[in-house]
A = this chain, B = another copy of it.
Amino acid sequence: MADRENPTVQKLLRSFIQFRKTGWHDKKINGYNPSEYKVLAVIYEGANKKETEMKVSEISQILEVTPPTVTQIINNLDKGGLVERMIDPQDRRAVRIKLTPKGKELTENARKAFFEKYLGLVDYLGEEDSEKLAELLNKVHRYFYELKR
């Protein structure tokens, strides 16, 4: 099994492991976790482009996590006064999530910092290599996705 020594496999593997450890997800800013910011960002963007507030189920689909996960995160954001729940009058089972002014401000600041960091990364890698990286990562995802079925 000399293949096991294949240097490309070794390199790739090491880079994956290191990348997974890369802290491109910061812990706890202003008392909120990365997963909470992700939900805030989805709520913010959804409201911006759809004019109507996001439902729990929609957030859950976008983030690819289960609805209970979203509910729990929202419980906490709600407790912190960043977010408000309102029943959808069209479908009274659904709950629309709305940012409070406080939540909106926090989200906007976080988004700004976040995008600046990533603009910096694109700058560091170069436009062309950044595109290439995105493409390759998508390809890796497709490979593993197809394996699983």
Contact = CB atoms under 8 A, between A and B. Distances in A.
Interface stretch (A51-59, A69-77, A91-99, A117-125): A117-125
A87 interface: no
B138 A15 contact: yes
> What is the count of identical protomers in the complex?
2
Nearest to A24: B144
B12 A122 contact: yes
Given A3-B115, A4-B115, A131-B8, A145 B22 contact: yes
Secondary structure at the A interface, as helix, strand, loop or mixed, is helix
Contacts of A18: 137-138, 141
A86 interface: no
A90 interface: no
